[in-house]
Homo-oligomer: A and B are copies of this chain.
Amino acid sequence: MSQATTNVMQSALKLFYAPIEDELKRAEQTLISELRNESPFVNELLEYGGQLGGKRLRPALLLLTAKAAGEVTPSHYTLAAVVEMIHTATLVHDDVLDEAAMRRHLATVNARWNNETSVLLGDYLFTHAFYLASTLETTFGCRRIGQSTNIVCEGELRQIGNRGNHALSEAEYFEIIDGKTAELCACACHLGAHYANADDAVVASMERYGRLLGMAFQIADDLLDLLGDESQTGKSLGTDLDKQKPTLPIIHTYQTLDGNERQEFVGLLESEDLQRHVAILEWVNRCQGLEYARKTAIEFTEQAREQLNCLKPSACRDVLSDITEFVVARSL
């Protein structure tokens, strides 16, 4: 993907947000005012952290779902800020885990300060998000946010537990990304529809939409990590291979190969040769691992779009549909 393509993508995303422009601004104000702190050091960290999240995809999903399924209420602005704070917390901690140096063309918190500052900043964001959720009238939001973030952590831990497990099945891989990525998208869409007083069936469909979109998003992200160019994506790449994290193109290649070829492929995955990336991609290409992963991501987006049929036609419904194409287009 070229720099020009990236810019087109960013503009496309802005266009997507047009039907919720005012709502997104109000959620952003909540986020900014919640992330002020009297201590200059803490304040500087929070401002910096606030820039890392970037796309505001999760707040946008929450607000789009709300508007498409009913009405946007004050609770939605609070919850939009909450999901973005949670997402930023996981990014800050991910960058410690991945030992990443760059995120959205910025130095990561661990690179600019250090690991302990990153750990505590992530904790600060998590706990502030929980506090903010608890300012709503009922425990519903807290419960869903608590549960979802817990599932995210479980997914990330299971991913660590399966590092170097080249025989990981596709089903297990799906379970892991369902937890670590799809869960928070499902949560955002669920909360959006629930607090808009949508029917139970619509709420359930919106949650499924978010989950299926999140699955597609993560597969596309894995493809970007394997193929992308750091100067264009603005973040450290190739960390999945370095960390021996199984991803769909690699899993598919492993499952397609057998005997000596499989052994040779595993040898490359486990080798410490810095040049192995190219050789791994050759195997992946031979087994059509990239095409397979793209096809799978597209299937998830098709299923996601089906969930939107229960909504009345609206600009927001159209955007929810278009976003499914956008998340996969990133990795084409």
Contact = CB atoms under 8 A, between A and B. Distances in A.
Interface of A: 37, 39, 41-42, 45, 93, 96-97, 115-117, 119-124, 126-128, 130-139, 142-143, 145-147, 149-150, 152-154, 156-158, 160-161
Question: How many copies make up the complex?
Answer: 2
A126 B124 contact: no
Contacts of A138: 139
Nearest to A179: B39
A34 B313 CA distance: 43
B130 A146 contact: yes
A64 B181 CA distance: 41
Task: Name the residue in A117, A142, A143 with the highest tally of chain B Cβ atoms < 10 Å from its Cβ.
Answer: A142
Contact of A120 (B93, B115, B143, B147): B93
A133 B157 contact: no
Contact of A130 (B39, B130, B135, B157): B130
A123 B122 contact: yes
A129 to B, nearest CB: 8
Contacts of A42: 154, 157-158, 161
Contacts of A136: 139
A130 B158 contact: no
A194 to B, nearest CB: 15
A134 to B, nearest CB: 4
B130 A142 contact: yes
A166 B154 CA distance: 41
A122 B127 CA distance: 12
29 contacts: A41-B158, A41-B161, A42-B157, A42-B158, A45-B157, A93-B123, A97-B115, A97-B119, A116-B160, A120-B153, A121-B157, A122-B123, A123-B123, A123-B126, A124-B157, A126-B126, A126-B127, A127-B150, A127-B152, A128-B146, A131-B143, A131-B149, A132-B146, A133-B142, A134-B145, A135-B139, A137-B139, A139-B139, A142-B142
